[in-house]
Amino acid sequence: IHRAANEAGVPQATLTELSYEGQRSFIERVLDIVNTMPVIPQNPHASRRETTAPMALPLSNILTPAAPVFSQSMNSYIQVVEQIIRDLADQDNVVIVGRGSQVILKDRDDTLHVQIIAPFDQRVETLMQREQISRREARARVAASDRARSDYLRRYYHVHWTDPSLYDLVINTDKIDTLTAIELIVRAQMTLKSKPAPEGSTHR
């Protein structure tokens, strides 16, 4: 998404605002097992910058809770991100983290929506160890991340990001160890791929 968004002229700072503090390494392990690393060409759509340039406004850090909301600018940003997500989904074998993708792609029959959850304190500990930061800073960053994602989905998609109906699979890593979680995701994805496409579907 970052590379494709850069093609559209969307600031990287805007796209990194909603990054979840513990998902990247977990997803990489899933991809290693399934052997379906996401393929994003160096130039996904040569004309994307031209077609989306009017919408790619300087929105750096606009998703932080304290930042003012400029509805016209944010609506333009949303349009850019939604188009990027749909383009990436059409490429197949892609993992998309957040950005409202559980809503944007909810009607596609070839997508598996997974939510990985963990208690707040566990996520704080994970962030402290990985980033070598204080507990106070880790708590602030995790809380800010949660607020940003919650506000983003509520304001622009009218859903709550913890609503289990948005996902096909919800895994609590406080109860399920990492290897078991990976196995569950892999099995769910294999089951999805083995299902015949609904009549008239163009997504499989």
Long-range contacts of 144-147 (CB under 8 A, 24+ apart): 144/64, 144/65, 145/18, 145/19, 145/20, 145/21, 147/65
Architecture of the CATH domain 2-194: 3-Layer(aba) Sandwich (3.40)
More confident residue, 3 or 103: 103
pLDDT in tens, 167-194: 999 999 999 998 999 889 988 888 887 7
- Could you tell me the pLDDT band of residue 51, with boundaries at 50, 70 and 90? very low
Report how far apart, in Å, the C-alpha atoms of 38 and of each of 93, 95, 105, 129 are: 6, 6, 17, 27
* 27 membership: H or E segment, kind and range: helix 23-34
**Residue-level pLDDT at 200:** 58
Q: Quickly count: other Cβ atoms within 10 Å of residue 124's Cβ.
A: 22
* pLDDT exceeds cutoff 80 at 60: no
Describe the chain by its helix, strand, coil percentages, rounded to 5: 55, 5, 40
Q: Is 48 helix (H, G, I), strand (E, B) or coil?
A: helix
Spans of all domains in the chain: 2-194
- Could you tell me the pLDDT band of residue 74, with boundaries at 50, 70 and 90? low
Q: Quickly count: other Cβ atoms within 10 Å of residue 103's Cβ.
A: 18
Helix residue ranges, H only, 56-197: 71-90, 101-104, 120-131, 135-157, 178-194
9 touches 53 (CB < 8 A): yes
- Chain centre to alpha carbon of residue 127: 18
Report how far residue 113's alpha carbon sits from residue 134's, in angstroms, rounded to the nearest whole number.
33
pLDDT in tens, 76-101: 667 777 888 888 888 777 888 877 88
167 touches 173 (CB < 8 A): no
Q: Does the global pTM surpass 0.85?
A: no
